[in-house]
Chains A and B, each alone.
Chain A
């Protein structure tokens, strides 16, 4: 393999990594919101991504590709709609289950507060995964999107060699992901709701003194968190094939991205997810398929052992 081929491979990987990484970044943002505001590690985050994927898939299959809009845009619209759908589910779940173990109630439990949350979300993950198995079957499916098969060619850059193919569906997905993150960032920074969420995260007691209902803030944050991750899943649905257990595969990706970026930082989470995406795609050049997961895991472990506060975060949050 000559140098130009290698160059092409590397560039291709970088591009793919950036595009896929944007979707990872979006999912990481969802996870970090939940941790940032609620201080909860949600083990079921991968399952909500899976729900987003299946939402997109089923709506696409049932409503038909050509019926609405131009068939090409439809999967993306659906992916974005998965957000509010899962958001609503999140509100219900939080009120019914999670509220019981977070907040001030938590201190009464044997399983010291955050452990109860962890274990509860583990239970939810199991139910969603296996319930999904029952509802959706175990056959891998995917959202067939013509754009997944089309790509723009960038190049040739060196003579008539070195071309990079930029997948169109992935590009649109990446753009949407970026837009969603920016919108959400704006919500958090500019709106009264967003500020109240950040206040509740900074200091729940003081927030209560201000008249902010911290339980409600957590509920909304939880809904946002899983809703955003569901959008990420919906976008990914056009790019990968999935089955109900897919959540577990992506859990490590999401957590690696989040800790890389610093728990609680939205910008950090997006950049972290992006980095993991690039790492994954570039490592595919030299490593066999199964080991990609191990690389990400090693990265994750290294970060939490040696630099738990992450690299990209702006906030100085010491756990």
Chain B
């Protein structure tokens, strides 16, 4: 029995009959930090949507903790311990910060444990405590990102998927968020699956990385191996 939480084997998926992802294989172990990098249009968001169930897989297997994930309906997947922090934050704008976090904890049977979680989240992201009664739509980009992450954590998940958390944020704020993420990761056995544009950050923190291009995994390996890989530089900078 392996340590693998999530296992994708030869997964293909897409919209309207056109496959965006083709033959993607990926493994995420318990407590691991895995990054997926790749140019725009490579299919990174589609990958997450397929794992979460909003996009149907056309071929291949998805297993979660040994069980077939493909049969599970989308809203039920969160109950299994999969948390998804979507691209562009996607907070609930008219709900307050606190209510957003409560919704994050929607799947938790143990409601009594929520206040404890809340405190933990507030320690990691104090600004959320300050603004807890404000509608989430009035928060700045960085604060919304923190809220989205907090919301994901509120479910006490086994895996947290983050889709381009640094997008649209000033570098300093993005740095702060990454640092928090790393703290969170180190202090628990939470597995993190990260999709990022900022290759350096992603490779810096991850244990393992995959490079996605035009829907296929073209490279994978430990960050040290990939870091000075010319193919990545080419893909991003044409040098």
User: Is there any pair of Cβ atoms, one from A and one from B, under 8 angstroms apart in the complex?
Assistant: yes
Q: Which residues of A contact B155 (CB under 8 A)?
A: 210-211
Q: Any chain B CB within 8 A of the CB of A33?
A: no
Q: Any chain B CB within 8 A of the CB of A206?
A: yes
Q: In the complex, identify which listed stretch (B61-69, B70-78, B192-200, B224-232) lies at the interface while the others stay far away.
A: B70-78
Q: Any chain B CB within 8 A of the CB of A29?
A: no
Contact B107 A210 (CB under 8 A): yes
Given contact pairs A192-B102, A196-B106, A198-B94, A206 touches B78 in the complex (Cβ within 8 A): no
Q: Which residues of B contact A213 (CB under 8 A)?
A: 73, 75
Q: Which residues of B contact A214 (CB under 8 A)?
A: 75
Contact B86 A195 (CB under 8 A): no
Q: Which residues of B contact A196 (CB under 8 A)?
A: 103, 106
Contact A212 B74 (CB under 8 A): no
Q: Any chain A CB within 8 A of the CB of B173?
A: no
B139 to chain A, nearest CB (A): 14
17 contacts between A and B (CB under 8 A): A192-B102, A195-B102, A196-B103, A199-B95, A205-B54, A207-B92, A208-B54, A208-B74, A209-B52, A209-B84, A209-B86, A210-B155, A211-B78, A211-B155, A212-B103, A212-B106, A213-B73
Give which listed residue, A195, A198, A205, A212, contacts B90 with CB less than 8 A: A205
Report which residue of B52, B92, B155 has the largest number of chain A beta carbons within 10 angstroms of its beta carbon: B92
Q: Any chain A CB within 8 A of the CB of B93?
A: yes
Residue of A nearest to B107 (CB): A211
B37 to chain A, nearest CB (A): 22
Task: Please provide the chain B residues from 80 to 104 with a CB less than 8 Å away from any CB of chain A in the complex.
Answer: 83-84, 86, 90-95, 99, 102-104
Given contact pairs A210-B103, A210-B107, A202 touches B95 in the complex (Cβ within 8 A): yes
Q: Which residues of B contact A199 (CB under 8 A)?
A: 92, 95, 99, 103
Residue of A nearest to B99 (CB): A195
Contact B107 A203 (CB under 8 A): no
Question: Which residues from chain A sit less than 8 Å from chain B, CB to CB?
Answer: 192, 195-196, 198-199, 202-203, 205-214, 315
Contact B86 A202 (CB under 8 A): no
Distance A213 CA – B53 CA, assembled complex (angstroms): 12
Question: Which residues from chain B sit less than 8 Å from chain A, CB to CB?
Answer: 52-54, 73-79, 83-84, 86, 90-95, 99, 102-104, 106-107, 151, 155
Distance A213 CA – B72 CA, assembled complex (angstroms): 13
Residue of A nearest to B151 (CB): A210
Distance A318 CA – B54 CA, assembled complex (angstroms): 25
Contact A206 B54 (CB under 8 A): no
Distance A168 CA – B69 CA, assembled complex (angstroms): 60
Q: Which residues of A contact B84 (CB under 8 A)?
A: 209
Q: Which residues of B contact A202 (CB under 8 A)?
A: 92-95
A186 to chain B, nearest CB (A): 14
Contact B91 A210 (CB under 8 A): no
Q: Which residues of B contact A210 (CB under 8 A)?
A: 78, 103-104, 106-107, 151, 155
Q: Which residues of B contact A208 (CB under 8 A)?
A: 52-54, 74-75, 78
A284 to chain B, nearest CB (A): 38
Given contact pairs A192-B102, A192-B106, A206-B86, A211 touches B75 in the complex (Cβ within 8 A): yes
A218 to chain B, nearest CB (A): 12
A290 to chain B, nearest CB (A): 41
Q: Which residues of B contact A315 (CB under 8 A)?
A: 94
B48 to chain A, nearest CB (A): 9
